[in-house]
Amino acid sequence: MSSRLSPERLAVVAATVTVVLWASAFVAIRQAGAEYSAGALALGRMLVASAVLGLYCLVRREKLPPRAAWPAIAVAGVLWYAVYMVALNWGEQQVDAGTAALVVNVGPILMALLGGWLLKEGFPPRLFAGMAVAFAGAAVVGLSMSGDGHAPLLGVLACLLSAATWATSVVVQKPALRYASPLQVTTWGATIGAVALLPFTPSLVSGVREASFTATANVVYLGVFPTAVAFTTWSYALARTSAGKMGATTYASPAIVVLLSWLFLREVPGWVTLLGGVLCLAGVAVTRSRPRRAAEVPAGTGPEVGDGVTQRSDIASSSRPMGSTRNRP
């Protein structure tokens, strides 16, 4: 497959796999969260993910990440694989879906802002315009699927914490991918996250004893697919595009959640929910599109300002001496 697709198309495929699997996590969390506490659910998910990834690394004889990658892996491991997981699980148990959608989906916007500032990705107008449309769609989906409007302050703060740690983790993780492979970054990030979550062990043991087979099977599913597989494909795609664009891609998730909830939870969406899903997909399409006028720039006039990482990479590659084999991160 890799021989037939360009690196850019492979990155799109990897991002698509991530978004679909993360959307499927909504159904699994809904079913497992009724019998597992937020901390126990996060720990169980990370233990399964780190075990699966570790076994795969042993089979592949994958080496340890280089020393330069460890600081970023450690920070992302604690923030994303531990703090984010618990905050998201607990926050979504406390607030209604509409509030969660509004607060948690601030994450990709923070991601784009931090990426533009700290990673020097720039602030492309098309990216932020598409994110505004997609965020509106995510809010519409959330509000249309809300229950009784329950939104206590602590629940809102937990959702806000999950959004902030998600955005920060992605911006921290991207530099690590210059030195380590996506598999290395994901495996050791998940392992560090599992270690950080060990204080929830008594709650997990109690949950395994008392929970139904279906709930425990959903915890295992969350560890294997939305974590081990999806976080690896996320890292693969993140290494080949900007943090802002990757964050924007996740706005397709609410539309997929609507479809999966329809298929597996028998929750028939209304017209407003469907409209929100369409807005999400339209916004993502805008962020992934390219301006037509870029193709009309005469040769030799140089790249346009604001095109982000791609243009700076092109400038750097054109300035290298002939025969240079240094790979871009």
Check whether 64 has a pLDDT greater than 90: yes
* CA atoms lying within 13 Å on the CB side of residue 324: 10
Encode pLDDT of 223-249 as tens digits: 999 999 999 999 999 998 888 888 888
Q: In the chain, how long is the greatest CA-to-CA distance?
A: 69
Check whether 288 has a pLDDT greater than 70: no
* Rounded Cα distance, 192 and 77, in Å: 5
pTM higher than 0.85 = no
The pLDDT value given to residue 148: 56
As a whole-number percent, the residues of the chain with pLDDT over 70 amount to 77
**Residue 101 parent element (H or E):** helix 97-104
Encode pLDDT of 168-218 as tens digits: 999 999 999 999 999 999 999 999 999 999 999 999 999 999 999 999 999
Q: Residues 98-107: what's their mean pLDDT? A: 72
Check whether 298 has a pLDDT greater than 50: no
Q: Residues 154-173: what's their mean pLDDT? A: 90
Q: Which of 52-66, 150-164, 177-191, 308-322 is least confident?
A: 308-322
Encode pLDDT of 41-63 as tens digits: 999 999 999 999 999 999 999 99
Q: How confident is the model at residue 313 (pLDDT cuts 50, 70, 90)?
A: very low
The pLDDT value given to residue 243: 85
* Rounded Cα distance, 158 and 167, in Å: 14
Give 50-75 as a DSSP string.
HHHHHHHHHHHTPPPPPGGGHHHHHH
Check whether 307 has a pLDDT greater than 70: no
The pLDDT value given to residue 194: 98
Check whether 324 has a pLDDT greater than 60: no
Q: Residues 238-266: what's their mean pLDDT? A: 79
